[in-house]
Structure 1
Amino acid sequence: MGVGIRRARADERDFVVGLLDEAFMDDPVSSWVFPDPAHRRARHPYLMGAFTDATFADGYIDLLEDGTAVALWMDIPAAPDEPGAGADEDGPAQVRAAVDSDNERVEQIARLTEAAHPAGRAHVYLWMIGVKPGRQGEGLGTALMAQVLERCDREGLPAYLEASNARSRALYERLGFVFTGTAVELPGGPSLWPMWREPQGG
């Protein structure tokens, strides 16, 4: 597509949060975490901020140069500590405290996705990718993912993500991701589909 992509800077944190907030405001998972629309508008930016801050600390954020799409990535080492072990055991609770302390669903989704995350092999984790409403369906997400997936193929690295809706799942399948076979079922809410991609090409 000829779309320019660059690494987001730390001083662009608020812009990234705003873009993710807009992109995911009506997502099925966000609507489950914050069922009341007014409450969602108030607290959803804090959740996107927690994700953004964690990625700036331990990963990297790619941004389309025109500011219409963003992707949050983590390089996960081989054989990481088991979920919930050591210093990270209170991570989901800390996120809940920072985002919406009275909302147990913030902590619940963090624990469920953490438990589903495959361990053992080094891989690249696409935490989330957001495209500005009104620009979705134009291939911007695919363009944003392409250079990282090319790196995965070049270096022999798998990739992992959780699809949060049927449209994104179909996109990821076209890019070589395969559903792991066990969905993350949010109680009384939508499903997340964990997806794994083996490196491709020769």
Structure 2
Amino acid sequence: MGVVIRRAGEGDRERVVRLLDTAFRDDPVSGWVFPGEEYRRSTHHRLMAAFTDIVLAEGRIDLTEDGSACALWMSVPAGDHGEGEDDGPAQVRRAVDPANERVELIGRLTADVHPTGRDHEYLWMIGVAPGRQGKGLGTALIGSVLDRCDREGLPAYLEASSERSRRLYHRLGFAPAGLPLALPDGPSMWPMWREPRPGGTA
């Protein structure tokens, strides 16, 4: 496909935050966490910044060379929810929007359904600029890590936040991992798991 991918560093932080803010501002889950267009416009980027900082410090962010798409990955050992310490969701809430309990709740709910039995790669988020969606960038970003998972015999996990993303992940070999997570008075998320393929992702 000719998509050039590199690992993002601290110098890419603002670019990644802007990209995630733009890519997820109209996402159903973002709309639930930050209800109301004006509120979301003024606050949503803080959550994306918190996620970016966590993954820059503890995981890996893959970025297309033109800056139009990125993927946030965490390597999660068996027994870990992939959310850091138990008070991680509370810390994020304090940093992002202390009065908004949904910022903390989304972290706790996703941690509760996160598989813990095996080492795995966790796709925390993948964002593609609205004007570049549907061009195969997301598939290229995910595929580069899934190829490594196949070589190393590692499964992968994610939570799909929309029907569109769920269809993409299904095509890449992810299958439902338990029941959908229904957010209180909000949309659903779909935990999905992918076993490594000995022959690769193709």
**Short-chain TM bin:** over 0.9
Pairwise CA distance, 1:96: 0.7
Task: Please give the secondary structure, in 2, of the residue aligned with 1:70.
Answer: strand
In the alignment, what sits opposite 1:154? 151
2-side partners of 1:49 and 1:90: how far apart?
A: 18
Query: Contact 1:83/1:89 (CA < 8 Å) preserved in 2?
Result: no
Superposed CA deviations along residues 21-78 of structure 1, whole A, max 9, x for unmatched, are 0000100000000111111011101000010000011101000001110000001112
Which consecutive aligned stretches of 4+ in structure 1 deviate over 2 angstroms post-superposition? Answer: none
In the alignment, what sits opposite 1:104? 101
User: Are 1:89 and 2:86 matched, yes or no?
Assistant: yes
Can you give the 5+ residue segments of structure 2 that lack an aligned partner in the other structure?
none
In the alignment, what sits opposite 2:160? 163
Task: Please give the secondary structure, in 1, of the residue aligned with 2:71.
Answer: strand
What do you get for the CA RMSD once the two structures are aligned?
1.4
Q: What are the equivalent positions in structure 2 for 1:1-202 lying under 5 Å apart?
A: 1-80=1-80, 88-202=85-199
Report the identity percentage: 65
Query: Contact 2:74/2:82 (CA < 8 Å) preserved in 1?
Result: no
Q: 1:164 to 1:83 in 2, by over 3 A?
A: closer
1-side partners of 2:13 and 2:82: how far apart?
A: 27
Task: Please give the secondary structure, in 2, of the residue aligned with 1:142.
Answer: helix
1-side partners of 2:186 and 2:179: how far apart?
A: 16
Pairwise CA distance, 1:89: 2.1
Letter in 2 for 1:17: V
2-side partners of 1:181 and 1:88: how far apart?
A: 24
1-side partners of 2:113 and 2:178: how far apart?
A: 11
Task: Please give the secondary structure, in 1, of the residue aligned with 2:131.
Answer: coil
Query: Contact 1:83/1:115 (CA < 8 Å) preserved in 2?
Result: no
Can you give the 5+ residue segments of structure 1 that lack an aligned partner in the other structure?
none
2-side partners of 1:95 and 1:148: how far apart?
A: 27
Query: Contact 1:20/1:130 (CA < 8 Å) preserved in 2?
Result: yes
Pairwise CA distance, 1:83: 8.2
2-side partners of 1:45 and 1:194: how far apart?
A: 24
Task: Please give the secondary structure, in 2, of the residue aligned with 1:127.
Answer: strand
Pairwise CA distance, 1:135: 1.0
If the length of structure 2 is used for normalisation, what is the TM-score? 0.95
1-side partners of 2:184 and 2:82: how far apart?
A: 21
